[in-house]
């Protein structure tokens, strides 16, 4: 399934969620269908970082796009949810996606800087992710702490899946099944 198809699924689910919120008296079934949108967007954010991590210009561009979209959509979010043009009690989900994406960039930078010491690299990565998740929580973004954690977990999955696939291909070439199982 391509990223484009995933985006279409997420947009359709988000539309169903918004229709349920405004027109169908908060229909729980429709609202739950709408929750699929966030999961897909969180995965796409992790996948974007996974594919762009070696391209700093693309990363900056992606951050800038998310920042602009978050800033422009915030008054609309406040109007939609709280019926006010500005309110600092609740921030939109796009800001949380931005925080998650920046957390992945910082984790990548930290791991590159500490590539020789895996323990420090891992501990620093956990601290960075925790600070990002706490920030999303205190800013009261949509999905908050759990949203950032989900993005990070999707990225970890993508890293492991790639490593696992590489090892399995290597074991097929060498004929040694233990190559794949011993490294994961």
pLDDT of 128-159, one tens digit each? 999 999 999 999 888 889 999 999 999 999 98
**72-122, pLDDT tens digit by residue?**
887 776 677 666 666 666 678 889 999 999 999 999 999 888 888 888 888
What's the pLDDT score for residue 130? 95
182, two tokens: 């011993």
Q: List the domain boundaries for the chain.
A: 3-182
What's the pLDDT score for residue 116? 82
Q: In 10 A of CB 59, how many CB atoms? A: 19
- Helices 93-113, 28-52: inter-axial angle, 10-degree rounding: 30
Residue 27: pLDDT over 70: yes
Cα angle 119, 124, 125 (rounded to 5 degrees) comes to: 100
Beta strands in the chain, from DSSP E residues, in sequence order: none
């Amino acid at each position: 399934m391509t990223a484009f198809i995933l985006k279409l699924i997420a947009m359709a689910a988000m539309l169903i969620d918004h229709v349920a919120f405004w027109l169908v008296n908060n229909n729980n079934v429709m609202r739950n269908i709408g929750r699929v949108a966030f999961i897909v967007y969180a995965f796409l954010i992790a996948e974007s970082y996974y594919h762009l991590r070696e391209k700093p210009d693309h990363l900056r561009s992606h951050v800038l796009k998310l920042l602009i979209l978050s800033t422009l959509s915030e008054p609309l979010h406040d109007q939609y949810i709280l019926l006010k043009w500005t309110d600092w009690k609740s921030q939109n989900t796009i800001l949380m996606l931005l925080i998650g994406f920046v957390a992945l960039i910082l984790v990548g930078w930290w791991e590159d800087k500490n590539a020789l010491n895996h323990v420090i690299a891992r501990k620093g990565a956990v601290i960075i992710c925790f600070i990002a998740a706490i920030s999303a929580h205190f800013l009261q973004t949509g999905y908050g702490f759990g949203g950032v954690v989900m993005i990070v977990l999707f990225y970890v999955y993508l890293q492991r899946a790639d490593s696992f696939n590489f090892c399995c291909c290597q074991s097929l070439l060498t004929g040694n099944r233990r190559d794949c199982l011993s490294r994961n």
